[in-house]
């Protein structure tokens, strides 16, 4: 079997920023793990929002966006489709401690009202997760196409 001729790898410049990025955690979550991570973080952030900011839905929405980005970035490649699916569920889970009410009916009404009025944050976070997932999915496809183009064809 003849060895393949592979193009020489070009070294990327290493400076302080890439070194710091390599030190950041890079977990790979399953679909269920991504959902649990996102829901747990949003629940903790909701309790902190209720404690520090008096249940501000705007603060909660702003905090939702980076959690969506992290969830989409940390989910495994095989479970990429779950990224944009779990973030709206986590948004709803996190709203439970923020929306108050006496009794089940009042609590549900406040929850649905919060979901309706904060739909912009919900859609924005889902869009962030979707864009990251699509980018992560297309990157290997583009790499394979570039490799196939660079490979000399042996036709005859």
Q: Using pLDDT thresholds of 50, 70 and 90, give the confidence band for residue 29.
A: confident
Q: Using pLDDT thresholds of 50, 70 and 90, give the confidence band for residue 12.
A: low
What is the percent of the chain with per-residue pLDDT over 70, rounded to a whole number? 81
Of 137 and 8, more confident: 137
What average pLDDT does range 126-152 have in this prediction? 85
| Two tokens, residue 124 | 């924005």
Residues 6 or more apart in contact with residue 79 via CB below 8 angstroms = 29, 30, 31, 34
- Poorest-pLDDT segment among 54-68, 76-90, 113-127, 142-156: 142-156
Q: Is 132 exposed, middle or buried (0-12, 13-18, 19+ CB in 10 A)?
A: buried
């Amino acid at each position: 079997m003849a060895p393949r001729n592979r193009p020489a790898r070009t070294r990327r410049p290493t400076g302080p920023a890439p070194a710091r990025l390599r030190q950041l955690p890079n977990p790979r979550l399953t679909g269920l793990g991504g959902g649990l991570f996102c829901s747990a973080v949003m629940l903790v952030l909701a309790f902190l929002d209720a404690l520090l900011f008096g249940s501000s839905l705007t603060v909660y929405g702003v905090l939702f966006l980076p959690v969506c980005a992290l969830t989409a970035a940390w989910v495994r490649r095989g479970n990429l489709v779950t990224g944009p699916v779990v973030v709206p569920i986590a948004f709803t889970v996190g709203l439970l401690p923020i929306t108050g009410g006496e009794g089940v009916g009042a609590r549900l009404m406040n929850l649905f009202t919060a979901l309706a009025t904060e739909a912009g944050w919900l859609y924005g976070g889902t869009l962030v997760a979707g864009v990251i997932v699509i980018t992560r999915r297309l990157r290997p496809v583009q790499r394979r196409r570039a490799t196939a183009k660079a490979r000399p064809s042996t036709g005859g």
